[in-house]
């Protein structure tokens, strides 16, 4: 069983640590986090999990101070690995927030996979989330506009090594990706486990891990994190730096 998972940093987001990482101690601290996508070779296919964030001008509109350095766009990052956009067979989306699906239309031969609940919400979001999903109601155009998706509900065996499983809470239809490897199960968590610090105990709230502060349903968020931490021998986050401790996982 040969599986290779390459973490890819597509740029940096500035955000409030209390809102996004640690509501117990983080409020008022502006921090900069990477925005990770993953290139996966498994079962004879070339797969992306998320496509990362948008260019600086748009990123700055979402979170002032955010930026995408030159060469960090998803296709430029893949080129450095010798992979062309048209080589990608499938993109598995953890969710459809702006920093996870930018530039998806570059992948002209790929199937796009999302959870049905996420696609429905992304196409018609609550006003509180117009910006996160780049709604046309505020004059933006979402990367997924006019794109056809394959949707899943519940757990889905995508291929022999790869399983999609629902991890809602951060958003309505969030899902994570479990990959069987020689070193155990690697879970690409998406924003359900936002960064490395979220896996540490929350001493302040007396919790075994630290749920982030940005959610549509905090109880589902908690259960999803628990499910991911139980399932994954290795957990790769969407906005932590731990994923870069190895160039290739596992």
Question: Residue numbers of the site for Zn ion (CB under 5 A)?
Answer: 97, 191
Nearer to Zn ion, 47 or 221 (CB): 221
Query: Who contacts 126 (Cβ-Cβ below 8 Å, separation ≥6)?
Result: none
Question: Which run of H or E residues covers position 58?
Answer: helix 56-62
Shortest Cβ 108–Zn ion spacing (Å) = 25
50, 69, 80 from 115: Cα distances, Å: 13, 30, 30
Nearer to Zn ion, 73 or 174 (CB): 174
Nearer to Zn ion, 20 or 149 (CB): 20
**CB nearest Zn ion: which residue?**
97
Shortest Cβ 136–Zn ion spacing (Å) = 20
Shortest Cβ 212–Zn ion spacing (Å) = 10
Structure tokens at 140: 């933006």
Nearer to Zn ion, 17 or 97 (CB): 97
Shortest Cβ 79–Zn ion spacing (Å) = 26
Nearer to Zn ion, 191 or 197 (CB): 191
Give 153's Cβ-side CA count (13 Å radius).
3
Query: Who contacts 139 (Cβ-Cβ below 8 Å, separation ≥6)?
Result: none
Residue 92 in contact with residue 49, Cβ under 8 Å? yes
14-46 residues labelled b (16+ CB within 10 A) or e (exposed): bbbbbebbbbebbeeeebebbbbbbbbbbbeeb
Shortest Cβ 242–Zn ion spacing (Å) = 18
Shortest Cβ 170–Zn ion spacing (Å) = 6
Residue 84 in contact with residue 34, Cβ under 8 Å? no
Nearer to Zn ion, 39 or 98 (CB): 98
Give 234's Cβ-side CA count (13 Å radius).
18
């Amino acid at each position: 069983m040969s599986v290779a998972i390459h973490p890819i940093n597509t740029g940096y987001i500035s955000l409030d640590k209390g809102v996004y990482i640690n509501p117990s101690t983080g409020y008022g601290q502006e921090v900069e986090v990477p925005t990770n996508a993953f290139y996966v070779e498994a079962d004879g296919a070339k797969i992306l999990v998320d496509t990362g964030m948008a260019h600086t001008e748009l990123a700055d509109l979402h979170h002032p101070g955010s930026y995408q350095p030159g060469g960090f766009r998803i296709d430029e990052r893949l080129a450095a690995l010798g992979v062309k956009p048209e080589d990608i067979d499938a993109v598995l989306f953890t969710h459809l927030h702006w920093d996870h699906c930018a530039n998806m239309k570059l992948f002209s031969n790929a199937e796009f996979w999302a959870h049905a609940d996420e696609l429905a919400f992304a196409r018609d979001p609550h006003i509180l989330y117009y910006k996160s999903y780049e709604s046309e109601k505020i004059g933006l155009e979402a990367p997924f506009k006019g794109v056809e998706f394959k949707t899943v509900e519940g757990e889905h065996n995508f291929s022999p090594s790869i399983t999609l499983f629902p991890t809602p809470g951060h958003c309505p239809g969030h899902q994570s990706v479990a990959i069987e490897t020689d070193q155990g199960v690697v879970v690409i968590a998406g924003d359900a486990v936002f960064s490395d610090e979220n896996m540490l105990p929350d001493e302040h709230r007396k919790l075994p891990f630290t749920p982030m502060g940005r959610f549509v349903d905090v109880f589902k968020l908690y259960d999803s994190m628990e499910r991911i931490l139980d399932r994954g021998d290795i957990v790769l986050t969407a906005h932590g730096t731990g994923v870069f401790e190895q160039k290739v996982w596992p």
